[in-house]
Chains A and B, each alone.
Chain A
Amino acid sequence: MRRGLWWWLACTVTIGLVVLVLSPVLTVVTIALMAACGIGPDGSPWLTGRDEILGLHAYGYLLTHYGSWLLFSLALAVGSVLVCLAVAVPAAWGLIRHPFPGSRWVEQAAALPLSLPGLAVSVGLVAAFPAVRGPWLVFAGHLLFTIPFMLRVTLDALRGYDLIAWERASASLGADAWRHAVWVVLPNLRHALVTGSLLVFAVSWGEFNVSYLLNHGRVQTFPAALYDTFANDGLPLAAAATVLFLVVVIPVSLGVQILGRGRTAVEQGA
């Protein structure tokens, strides 16, 4: 390990970035903890007329007022995972094992939503399906931005394997194509499928740009609930809502990192 000038510079920048990423998260969690104990940011007790949102009551308040939003977000995330598995995994297998004229083109088109600004896509979706505007259109928007991740992870995994050697082995043991898919291909893909699912879940759970426009005025996704509390309620409630958000997203993100061991280079619309 050579520790020249460059190493020290790189370390300084890295530590700076770590501080940038961690300090606001830790601050919000601290504020939420203090608020749960009834202490304000400056150390004195909160003075407010709204006792029902102080202390641990804040979480009860959030669950009664935004509980359906939370459930909607969870349903969207789980639904996205299921549809992505059903659509992207067979497609990835088809693209790699049975390429057809134009399969390169399909692969590139599937990555397209990631390089389009989310807001532009959602305005387009509303323009194309004005009658469906609502929960189902939000679901469509989420699918659009999650399928590329699942497809990429599955394609990367398939490219790393010698598929023909597997088929030779399966065929020599008398398996048909169906048994081969269920007992050889899927088990070998399980790591990629779990990583992809967690990734899709995390992306869908945090998505705001697309959902907010596609679903204005109805039951919203949980990030929109966050926007509501940021804009209309005090700091303790907003911090509590953020903690609820983080409680779901941090374990999932860590899962992606541990399973992907940092090899999954991923992009997401912010």
Chain B
Amino acid sequence: MLADASLLTQRPALGLLLCLPLVVLLAALVMWPLVQLVLQSVDGGPGAPWWRAWSDLVSVPRHRRALLTSVGLSAAAAIVSTALCLMPAWLLARRLIPGGAWLRMVLALPMSFSGLIVGFLLIVLIGRAGALPALTGLGSGLAYTLTGLVLAYLYFEVPRATLTLESAIRTLDPQLDVAARSLGARPWQHALFVVLPLLGPALLATLAMTFAVSLGSFGVALLLSVRGIALLPLELFMQYMAPPTDRALAAAMALTLAAIALGVGVGLRRLVEPRYA
């Protein structure tokens, strides 16, 4: 005989009530701002058509170049970091390396560094008067080049990619390795036909996440301000802060960044779901 039957019943109304603060917060802080952004982006200014800001975004070469550079750099950073971090993730998940816990702590360290800190760390290491040039004479000013920018993006992607991939690899059954080997699969066959298909969704999810993070980062760009490389987040920041501000254009840029990040995330998920759902 149960003393209080109400404990064991499922009450959707209670669930909704408990979620209410969260729902209100999301509506006020995500949905409402997005709506406002759309409204602001179509407010072209006096006498201008509603699409003025959007056509500026595409037709002004500076903005267009910034958009393409941002997408290219973020894609490169996402692909490189996912490919590289697969290796520590595999070693850590399968406990193939001594001192794994320590390695994981080191690799997870940049997690809470914003792009700004990463930029400064790179300036100190490979800036014009950095420690590496001072000690070896190599790499002076490297931080202010495209290489420096890629290294900086890699720096803050490492913990995200490694931790996500490690937890994905942990869910794979180690017995599969044994089975593949007993059936005579070579290591590359095992990797290509067993591990890769199972890990596919996690790989794409990691790609999407690292891409979104890179796309929105502007601390690195703000600090390194690489000559000749304009990035969309930095352009957006300037549109907002520098005196001839253009709120409509800034809103259009923000929506573009959000749409690309979301689109890539959803697209990559669609790519895997039909087969692995």
Question: Smallest Cβ distance from B235 to chain A, in angstroms?
Answer: 10
Is the CB of B193 closer than 8 A to any CB of chain A?
no
Q: A31-B131, A119-B233, A269-B217 are in contact. Are A20 and B158 (CB under 8 A)?
A: yes
Contact check, A110 vs B26: say whether CB atoms are below 8 A apart.
yes
Residue of B16, B109, B112 near A94 (CB, 8 A) is: B16
Is the CB of B194 closer than 8 A to any CB of chain A?
no
> Can you list, as one digit per residue, whether each of A12-27 has a CB less than 8 Å from chain B (1) or not (0)?
0110011011111101
Instruction: Give complex CA distance A29, B170 in Å.
Output: 35
How many chain B residues touch the partner (CB < 8 A)? 110
Contact check, A253 vs B4: say whether CB atoms are below 8 A apart.
no
Contact check, B160 vs A20: say whether CB atoms are below 8 A apart.
no
Neighbouring A residues of B187 by C-beta, 8 Å: 4, 6
Is the CB of B167 closer than 8 A to any CB of chain A?
yes
Contact check, B151 vs A177: say whether CB atoms are below 8 A apart.
no
Q: Give 9 new A-B contacts, CB below 8 A, not counting A17-B85, A98-B11.
A: A93-B18, A112-B30, A114-B209, A127-B37, A144-B29, A172-B3, A175-B4, A256-B108, A266-B160
Contact check, B125 vs A265: say whether CB atoms are below 8 A apart.
no
| B247 nearest CB neighbor, chain A only | A127
Neighbouring A residues of B121 by C-beta, 8 Å: 24-25, 27-28, 242
Question: Smallest Cβ distance from B151 to chain A, in angstroms?
Answer: 7
Contact check, A106 vs B22: say whether CB atoms are below 8 A apart.
yes
> Can you list, as one digit per residue, whether each of B103-117 has a CB less than 8 Å from chain A (1) or not (0)?
111111111111111
Neighbouring B residues of A123 by C-beta, 8 Å: 37, 236, 240, 250-251, 254
Contact check, B8 vs A167: say whether CB atoms are below 8 A apart.
yes
Contact check, A21 vs B18: say whether CB atoms are below 8 A apart.
no
| A98 nearest CB neighbor, chain B only | B15
Instruction: Give complex CA distance A88, B103 in Å.
Output: 31
Neighbouring B residues of A94 by C-beta, 8 Å: 14-19
Is the CB of B241 closer than 8 A to any CB of chain A?
yes
Question: Smallest Cβ distance from A166 to chain B, in angstroms?
Answer: 9
Neighbouring A residues of B3 by C-beta, 8 Å: 171-175
Q: A18-B107, A202-B112 are in contact. Are A118 and B124 (CB under 8 A)?
A: no
Contact check, B217 vs A209: say whether CB atoms are below 8 A apart.
yes
Contact check, A171 vs B4: say whether CB atoms are below 8 A apart.
yes
Is the CB of A90 closer than 8 A to any CB of chain B?
yes
Which of B32, B85, B116, B251 has the most A CB atoms < 10 Å from its CB? Answer: B116
Question: Smallest Cβ distance from A268 to chain B, in angstroms?
Answer: 6
Neighbouring B residues of A91 by C-beta, 8 Å: 18-19, 21-22
Is the CB of B53 closer than 8 A to any CB of chain A?
no
> Can you list, as one digit per residue, whether each of B249-267 has a CB less than 8 Å from chain A (1) or not (0)?
0110011011001100100
Neighbouring B residues of A182 by C-beta, 8 Å: none
Neighbouring A residues of B162 by C-beta, 8 Å: 17
Is the CB of A69 closer than 8 A to any CB of chain B?
no
Is the CB of B163 closer than 8 A to any CB of chain A?
yes
Neighbouring A residues of B2 by C-beta, 8 Å: 168, 171-172
Q: A97-B15, A174-B3, A216-B241 are in contact. Are A88 and B212 (CB under 8 A)?
A: no
> Can you list, as one digit per residue, whether each of A119-134 has a CB less than 8 Å from chain B (1) or not (0)?
1110111111100000
Is the CB of A140 closer than 8 A to any CB of chain B?
yes
Instruction: Give complex CA distance A230, B155 in Å.
Output: 19
Contact check, B33 vs A20: say whether CB atoms are below 8 A apart.
no
Q: A6-B187, A21-B155, A115-B261 are in contact. Are A88 and B22 (CB under 8 A)?
A: yes
Binding site for B on A (CB under 8 A): 1, 4, 6-7, 9-11, 13-14, 17-18, 20-25, 27-28, 30-31, 41-42, 86-88, 90-91, 93-95, 97-101, 103, 106, 109-110, 112-121, 123-129, 140-141, 143-144, 147, 151, 164, 167-168, 170-177, 180, 202-203, 205-209, 213, 216, 223, 226-227, 230-231, 235, 238-239, 242, 245, 249-250, 252-254, 256-257, 262-270
Is the CB of B78 closer than 8 A to any CB of chain A?
no
Of the listed stretches B44-52, B61-69, B218-226, name the one at the interface; the rest are far from the partner chain.
Answer: B218-226
Q: Can you pick out 30 interface pairs between chain A and chain B where the beta carbons lie within 8 Å of each other?
A: A9-B87, A10-B90, A14-B87, A41-B131, A91-B22, A95-B15, A97-B10, A109-B30, A110-B22, A120-B236, A121-B30, A121-B33, A123-B236, A124-B37, A143-B25, A164-B8, A171-B7, A174-B3, A175-B3, A175-B7, A177-B4, A177-B6, A202-B112, A209-B114, A223-B117, A262-B108, A265-B163, A267-B213, A269-B217, A270-B113
Contact check, A253 vs B131: say whether CB atoms are below 8 A apart.
no
| B113 nearest CB neighbor, chain A only | A206
Instruction: Give complex CA distance A239, B123 in Å.
Output: 11
Nearest first, the 5 closest Cβ-Cβ pairs linking A and B are A117-B216, A98-B15, A124-B33, A94-B18, A24-B121
| B127 nearest CB neighbor, chain A only | A235
Residue of B233, B251, B262 near A115 (CB, 8 A) is: B262
Residue of A1, A87, A269 near B96 (CB, 8 A) is: A1
| B8 nearest CB neighbor, chain A only | A167
Question: Smallest Cβ distance from B62 to chain A, in angstroms?
Answer: 18
Instruction: Give complex CA distance A115, B258 in Å.
Output: 8
Neighbouring B residues of A7 by C-beta, 8 Å: 91, 96
